């Protein structure tokens, strides 16, 4: 039982992180697996409570409260995840159900590591016998059925969860930029620099924003934020490949706030500089006067308030999924 629960919980964390970072259709697979493993953890937890938890509490060890905290975090993560996916409670700011789900999940990781080291599972041959495999398979089957039932329930009850994107995100403000959320990296602030004073440098050359605006073309693309929402707009863009000619391995797109991200030069045909949406200029909170539009990528890769694009030989994969500052 302990081994099954450890496998289920670890798989829940791994698939959750993979789903959170992925923007292509494969995110659907990660999201479904994340939900299945979450239900498996919920199904396996009662047996753990009846045996190990009760015994551990009766022993009176001081560390038992760390284990209790670990259990509370796991159950909280499952609860907040359900509230977000169902649409019963979701938002785009700090304190939303998805934000609480992520916080509970991430804080449970060090406690999981501590718990396994403090109470290691004795993986004997008997632990991997047919009975354990059958029990794990049955639990996974029941969890899969529960996932299907909840999705049918969301549709039947017409909750917001019925219209989630394959990443699990909820739609907000598509086709209406005024309703699209304004979010940014945790310590970024909206720049207050007048448009006429804005400097955009591409490979060391200053760009004229008026000329850039005159070259735009419409592009329908959905920004899918890791905060749990997506919004599809008709963006006014210029392909990055038309503005940049380099033989270096990657390009670094830099925000006025210092936020930046690396992209493989080979992907420049699928990256765009956006200056508006639906024929109107970008709003300050959406990246005005110029931002990166990156179809098929998650929100953190849609760099806002772009001031520079620098070719570099540093490979694009040599970076953290999110900036550390």
Q: HEC profile for 113-179?
A: HHHHHHCCCCCCHHHHCHHHHHHHHHHHHHHHHHHHHHHHHHHHCCCHHHHCCCCCCEECCCCCHHH
Q: What are the structural domains, with CATH classification, of the chain?
A: 2-167 (no CATH), 172-312 (3.90.420.10)
SS3 of residue 248 by DSSP: coil
Structure tokens at 56: 């551990």
pLDDT at residue 45, rounded to an integer: 81
Tell me the C-alpha distance between 49 and 39, whole Å.
16
Nearest CA among 39, 101, 43, 112 for reference residue 71? 112
What pLDDT, on a 0 to 100 scale, did the predictor assign at position 58? Answer: 59
The pLDDT assigned to 36 comes to 94
Distance from the Cα of residue 71 to its chain's centroid: 24
Largest CA distance in the chain: 74
Q: Are 251 and 265 in contact (CB under 8 A)?
A: yes
Q: Helices 64-86 and 130-156 meet at what angle, rounded to 10? A: 40
- 11, containing H or E segment: helix 2-21
- Spell out, as residue ranges, where the chain has pLDDT lower than 70: 1, 48-63, 93-94, 119-129, 186, 322-325
For 305, how many CA atoms within 13 A lie in the half-sphere containing its CB? 20
Comparing CA positions, the residue from 78, 14, 23, 105 lying closest to residue 300 is 23
**Which residues, 6 or more positions from 282, have their beta carbon under 8 angstroms from its beta carbon?**
274, 275, 276, 288, 289, 290, 291
- Looking at residue 6, its pLDDT comes to 82
């Amino acid at each position: 039982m302990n081994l099954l629960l450890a496998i289920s919980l670890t798989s829940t964390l791994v698939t959750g992180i993979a789903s959170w970072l992925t923007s292509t259709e494969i995110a659907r697979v990660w999201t479904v697996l994340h939900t299945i493993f979450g239900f498996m953890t919920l199904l396996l937890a009662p047996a753990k409570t009846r045996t190990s938890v009760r015994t551990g509490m009766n022993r009176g060890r001081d560390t038992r409260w760390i284990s209790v905290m670990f259990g509370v975090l796991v159950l909280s993560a499952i609860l907040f995840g359900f509230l977000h996916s169902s649409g019963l409670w979701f938002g785009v700011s700090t304190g939303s159900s998805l934000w609480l789900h992520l916080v509970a999940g991430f804080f449970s990781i060090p406690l999981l590591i501590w718990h396994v080291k403090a109470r290691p599972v004795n993986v004997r041959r008997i632990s991997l016998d047919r009975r354990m495999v059958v029990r794990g398979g049955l639990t996974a089957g029941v969890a899969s059925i529960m996932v299907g039932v909840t999705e049918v329930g969301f549709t039947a009850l017409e909750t917001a969860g019925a219209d989630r994107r394959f990443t699990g995100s909820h739609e907000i403000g598509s086709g209406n930029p005024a309703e699209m959320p304004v979010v940014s990296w945790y310590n970024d602030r909206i720049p207050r620099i007048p448009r006429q004073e804005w400097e955009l440098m591409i490979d060391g050359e200053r760009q004229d924003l008026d000329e850039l605006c005159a070259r735009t073309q419409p592009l329908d693309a959905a920004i899918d934020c890791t905060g749990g929402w997506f919004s599809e707009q008709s963006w006014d863009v210029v392909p990055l490949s038309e503005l940049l000619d380099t033989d270096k391995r990657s390009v670094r797109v830099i925000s006025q706030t210092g936020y930046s991200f690396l992209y493989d030069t080979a992907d420049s045909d699928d990256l765009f500089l956006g200056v508006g949406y639906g024929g109107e200029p970008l709003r300050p909170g959406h990246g005005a006067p110029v931002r990166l539009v990156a179809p098929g990528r998650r929100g953190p890769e849609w760099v806002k308030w772009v001031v520079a694009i620098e070719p570099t030989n540093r490979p694009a994969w040599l970076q953290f999924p999110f900036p550390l500052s």
